[in-house]
Structure 1
Amino acid sequence: MNNDPAHYPKQRTASMSEWSPSVHYAQFQHMPAGILPERRLYDFELLYVCHGEAATRMQGQHYILEAGQLILLPSGVYHQNEVIAAAGVRFLGIHFDFFNELDIQTEADMVVNELSVWPDKFCFEAVAEGQAHLTEHPVYTPPLACVQLMEQLVEEFTKRALGYELVCKGLMLNILAYLLRTPLSRTLTQATLHGRRLAALMERIEAAPATSWSNTAIAEQMNMSVDHAAKLFKQMAGMPPSEFVQSVRHREARRLLRESDLSIEIVGDHVGYSDIHYFSRIFRRHEGISPREYRKLSKIL
């Protein structure tokens, strides 16, 4: 079997009914500021940032992870994690495979020892026909319901009560389903002039989410017709302009609700929704609960 890292992760096309994940590790961990050693995994890892800021270098890309975001680290791919926040970062880490194919006894069964590599141990990534594979764009901003499932999985894995393997499998399937449904927070192609211009525009949107980012305003920024700008934006960003603006506003609203004591009205105004009732409806559509309920639950978590 080829052990060239460029050939990883290995992938297997399988219907979703064939996915049968097993969980190898699930735990909270606090890490101090600093750069961690480069490594590879035999399995896959979901690394969720609960508090602080982190980064990952992988396959020539540098991903910044804020609180509330996670990265999916693929089997067999070199990566290097870094804790940026001076006070450290609180992570939630979950190691798993897609097809219940790895027997885990010790940490050495998950982390590759480059002096003694076992090519047959690298796990396959499940790819559903007609769907993008999950590691294609590895950074996600999961909804609170998904975060709660990850919290529950850690509890089940830690307590290991009767039947915990079945519960963990069910929770993991639900988590993967949420990731499949979560819009990509950022998918950029910077190889062209339009790509660079769009990247700069998206940064301006993220820096000022409360600005009126209508399709017309975006087209003017791109110096294009409205239809052409909207088509190009969707092609290169992976979603229509309005959806991207909403996702940026929603992510910022979640951050303010978690990290500040601003009133719901002020949070809505800060992210571009001066009408609190409209803000609440939009927030509930994305999250499944109201801003007030989200704030209460985030304090518990």
Structure 2
Amino acid sequence: MDKFISGKIALNEYIQRTRSNGVSFYIHYWGVMPQHYNNLPHKHSFFEVCYVLEGRGTYIDQGCTYQIEENTMFLSRPEVLHQIKSDTGLFLLYVGFELDESESSEKWVTIIEEAKQCSEVVIDVKEDEAAPLMWKSLLIQAEKSESALFEEILSNLAHSLILLLIQNFVVTSNYHNQKSVQKKSSLILTLAKLYIKDNLSNSIKLTDTATHLHLSSRHLSRLFKSELGISYSEYVQNVRIQRAATLLKATDLSIRDIAQETGFPDVHYFTRVFTASMRSSPGRFRALYTKLKTVIYKD
């Protein structure tokens, strides 16, 4: 407790502003309150986030009453009437902040507007989650005022904490789940593309790539269709053709060797597919490209 209070004093002295990656915040205050009981209904012109370390009570926001206890976080939005009540006392960590719009990107102005309208103002967190751990670490680090790079470390920790707190309230569980699925699918597709590229001279059937990625063939096929708009086989054939075109332009390999290098079963099939796709036979494509590179000067 004493370390937290000492850390709070140092934070209020050194960290009144944070800035990084297109977003800047004013920090109005850092707070540590070991015994918080009741306060009167009031408003702020800025955001305030409180984290309950110990105790039980209620938080009233625009007439709605919420039960709060250990490991509860709650957000007070600008110009919203709110009140904290507790008969036994609450051990609170809290911070008041607002966006510096003049030094922040339009993206962040939009995010903060979303935060002002967010409906979930009270959330339960686990004490080993990033935001609670970082908050405590920040206060402990702030108490060590003699340490090397003191202000730089504090500023970076404080900025990251504010971002985490905003994320906790602005990013709804539904939005978070959608982004997670999107990122996971995109990663799978990236790995599939790498596998195809690195094994182009082989047959690389859909089942081979799916097995390599520990997926079902159906799931992988759906990913190619939904994210790229083409089938797995169409994608592989496009990669083969593009690779063949590169080899025709940049090397002296025979057409037979290029067909083999790009995974076509024989030179006749390669010639037919390449011609249909590029509107030119492999030999003519190479000849045309060679002519384009040649410049003849005449006196």
The alignment's TM-score, normalised by the length of structure 2, stands at: 0.36
Say which structure is richer in helix: 2
Answer 1 or 2: higher relative contact order, Cα 8 Å, separation at least 6: 1
